[in-house]
Structure 1
Amino acid sequence: MTRSRSTAIANKLAELAAREPTGSAHVEQSPPTVQKAPIVLEIGIGRRSEVARVLVADGHRVVAIDVVDRSVPDAVAFARLDVHDLATSPSPLQALPIAADESSVAVVFGQNLPAELQPATARLAERLDAVAAFTTLGFEDPSPSLRVERRTVGPETLYVTDAPSR
């Protein structure tokens, strides 16, 4: 993905993350603590860290997971986790490399996300009261088990699932 495509996707994710969460997965902060920016959780970051890099450069917080150890930009928190396990975990937020007083995950994102990971990604997003957004491998449609909205972002199609509070 080129820098301009990554920037376009990152800008759309930032827009989705900026929406005020109202669900129970959002951790309320007591005054005078300053509310931290919502988190974008990237599923299966692989070797493609450009979207995460753009988000971080623009001041957003990013947590990335993958089933194998990956090199990520310095400001990106990383955990070796499987989205299937995380989606069924009793406490998915606690499994992520974020402090207990951090604000919520606002967007769960996957770049070139294969169809077999899309339902688990959507379930995880729903459990976190977050929006799920992903691009596909390009030659396949989103999993038929998902209701998605197609959003054109430059030459890419970003698929966004319903989230109860957004």
Structure 2
Amino acid sequence: MNDRRELDGPDGSFRVFLVVVDDSDEMQKALRFASQRAKSTGGKVALLYVQEPTEFTHWLGVDKIMREEAREEGEALLQEHSELVERLSGGMPIIYIREGNVAEELFALIEEEPSISIVVLGASSDSEGTDPIISHLIGKGRGKMRIPFTIVPGSLSDDEIAAVT
């Protein structure tokens, strides 16, 4: 019997590929890469959605409504992406929802969840700007890294992603 499962450690746990979910095109590439990699290695995909705090604090009721609407949008986005992950990887993803700064919440989750073994991020193919998480990683966040990060170029086609996974 040939078990292709990539193991994290001596306890036999499987590899978990974490993708930070947003509505960007490059995130779609990271999600496809992570899902196909998980399928080929017997791993799982985890999705992290971080809801940025609202800046509207003048009226508590309005702030609460804005937060609820943002959470509903995040849940809808996670549902959509979960279906794609299940189709590509053959398994349901692990879901994490947080509120705060994306980079800070990403590193906090990595510290709290030892099962996460790799973070997969998509890099924009647009030369105009940089991704805030990637910028944080190459800046002050690199000292906090305890696991590998894979950066998937946003310019890769689906066929190119399939070829490298």
Please classify the TM superposition score into its range, dividing by the shorter chain length: 0.3 to 0.5
Higher relative contact order, structure no. (Cα contacts within 8 Å, ≥ 6 residues apart): 2
Q: What TM-score, normalized to structure 1?
A: 0.36
More helix by share: 2
